[in-house]
């Protein structure tokens, strides 16, 4: 075998002992020769240094992200603090909380939260994430509560209208009373979810079947969509009451705020219906019953009392009627009332008909302004009973069923309830009246609301239950 072949034998020969050099491997550069092609291999120290450099870069990036997160969190916290402070400041500078109102500090905080929610909704609307109305609805509506040990609860539809039925589980000695309930919310907000506690309480405490109606809302749906839904649900229940263990002759129509207005109109509409069971009673909880005069004593005294301002009431009404809120100031001033309508309106809607004790906190007689014909043409529907049930004729009012009316002293629409009470009594309709002397608009909804519970709301609810039990 040649020497050249022997030099390439595997395994290679062991290194020389002593100072002898090993023969160079084939293709390997000899010691002292410079390599001109390719990169020199990195030493372990250089490699370690390279790894340390990469780790330092990652640490810098992590530190930057952490600082950025802290900055964003600080900005959000600052925005939240600004929102809270701004909402409280707005409430303090724009609201009037009379000394006689129940738990004024708690009411102010509740109202500030509502203001803050509206502000957040407006920001989201400007960012094109969702509309302000959608956000406020989401916040107010909440979610459906869990099962109730004492109630069967079922969602279904009466014709095209979604409803939620509450039916006591305990056996009944006979057929029960039925209650068709319309929630409040200015025809714009509210839902069967937001009024679930109230409906559950009424059903359990009065041993009645409650039907809560999810009518359509403005501004997406304007008058008469809400009324049509409520009428459809009520007539369907009157026709099918037996299916739910209810005596069709003992069906009550009830509503809260805007729902109270709808309840009043439904009862007026049904008094002339043939071939349908008569409504047994109506329950009107601080109802809004007219859009003719926004200068009655309660509208002046409570114009800035939370949670319903005078301007906000007009705003809700205009969205319900036609969606044109540009006429808000004209509506408040009375520019929509023509001369030929004034005698009829004053007959049933007038400060002269309000008892003197309800003017004690101050009232300045309103001087009528001239009518704007264009405004009247836009708002002329306010003079029909379907919008202002206080303007119904006596022939209709005297046929109405026994009535329960709840009013609150510090509520702008207090006088609507007082005027309707007088109209009913003048037409020999039995009226049970509960006045919450230290209450504000919406107080019954806070009868069981955790820290935001108001005792007078619970008392009002119990009065409503006692009225139902008395039927």
Active-site positions? 257, 411, 441
Angle CA 272–186–457, to nearest 5? 95
C-beta separation of 215 from 229 below 8 A: yes
Residue 155, SS3 per DSSP: strand
Peptide bond into 307 cis (omega under 30): yes
Determine the Cα–Cα distance for residues 302 and 308; give it in Å rounded to an integer: 9
Determine the Cα–Cα distance for residues 443 and 110; give it in Å rounded to an integer: 11
Helices (H) and strands (E) in the chain, counts: 15, 8
> In this structure, what token pair is assigned to residue 438?
């230290």
The pair phi, psi for residue 185, each rounded to 5°, is 130, 20
SS (H, E, C) 384-405: CCCCCHHHCCHHHHCCCCEEEE
The set of residues, in sequence order, having a beta carbon less than 8 Å from that of 91 and lying 6+ positions away, is: 108, 111, 112, 115, 306
Helical H runs in 241-393?
A: 258-270, 297-301, 310-321, 328-333, 342-348, 373-379
> In this structure, what token pair is assigned to residue 437?
């002397």
**Residue labelled with tokens 């640490």:** 59
Nearest to 188, CA basis, from 315, 78, 55: 315
C-beta separation of 303 from 408 below 8 A: no
Determine the Cα–Cα distance for residues 390 and 417; give it in Å rounded to an integer: 9
| Torsion sign across C-alpha atoms 372, 423, 179, 384 | negative
C-beta separation of 235 from 213 below 8 A: no
405 has which bridge partners? 284, 433
């Amino acid at each position: 075998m040649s020497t050249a072949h022997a030099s390439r034998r595997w395994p290679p020969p062991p290194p020389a002992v002593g100072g002898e050099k090993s023969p160079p491997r084939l293709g390997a550069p000899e010691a002292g020769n410079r390599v001109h092609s390719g990169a020199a291999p990195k030493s372990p120290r250089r490699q370690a240094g390279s790894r340390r450099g990469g780790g330092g870069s990652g640490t810098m990036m992590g530190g930057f992200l952490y600082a950025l997160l802290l900055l964003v969190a600080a900005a959000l916290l600052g925005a939240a603090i600004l929102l809270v402070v701004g909402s409280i400041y707005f409430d303090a500078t724009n609201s009037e909380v009379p000394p006689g109102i129940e738990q004024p500090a708690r009411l102010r905080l509740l109202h500030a939260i509502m203001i803050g929610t509206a502000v957040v909704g407006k920001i989201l609307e400007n960012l094109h994430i969702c509309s302000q109305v959608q956000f406020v609805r989401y916040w107010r509506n909440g979610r459906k509560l869990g099962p109730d040990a004492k109630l069967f609860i079922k969602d279904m539809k009466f014709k095209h209208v979604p409803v939620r039925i509450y039916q006591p589980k305990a056996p009944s000695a006979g057929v029960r009373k039925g209650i068709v309930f319309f929630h409040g919310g200015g025809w714009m907000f509210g839902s069967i979810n937001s009024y679930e506690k109230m409906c559950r309480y009424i059903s359990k405490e009065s041993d009645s079947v409650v039907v809560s109606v999810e009518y359509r809302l403005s501004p997406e749906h304007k008058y008469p969509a809400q009324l049509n839904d409520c009428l459809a649900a009520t007539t369907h229940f009157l026709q099918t009451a037996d299916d739910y263990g209810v005596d069709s002759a003992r069906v009550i129509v009830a509503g809260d705020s805007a729902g109270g207005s709808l309840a009043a109109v439904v009862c007026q509409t049904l008094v002339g219906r043939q071939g349908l069971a008569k409504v047994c009673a109506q329950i009107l909880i601080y109802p809004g019953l007219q859009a003719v005069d926004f200068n009655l004593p309660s509208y002046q005294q409570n114009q800035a009392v939370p949670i319903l301002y005078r301007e906000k009431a007009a705003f809700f009404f205009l969205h319900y009627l036609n969606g044109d809120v540009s006429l808000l100031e004209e509506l408040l001033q009375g520019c929509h009332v023509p001369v030929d309508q004034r005698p009829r309106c004053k007959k049933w809607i007038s400060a002269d008909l309000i008892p003197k004790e309800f003017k004690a906190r101050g009232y300045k007689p309103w001087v009528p302004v001239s009518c704007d014909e264009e405004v009247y043409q836009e708002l002329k529907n306010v003079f029909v009973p379907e919008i202002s049930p206080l303007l119904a004729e006596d022939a209709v009012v005297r046929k109405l069923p026994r009535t329960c009316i709840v009013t609150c002293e510090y509520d702008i629409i207090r006088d609507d309830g007082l005027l309707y009470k007088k109209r009913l009594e003048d037409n020999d309709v039995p009226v049970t009246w509960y006045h919450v002397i230290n209450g504000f608009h919406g107080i019954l909804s806070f009868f069981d609301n955790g820290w935001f519970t108001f005792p007078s709301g619970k008392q009002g609810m119990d009065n409503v239950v006692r009225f139902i039990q008395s039927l």
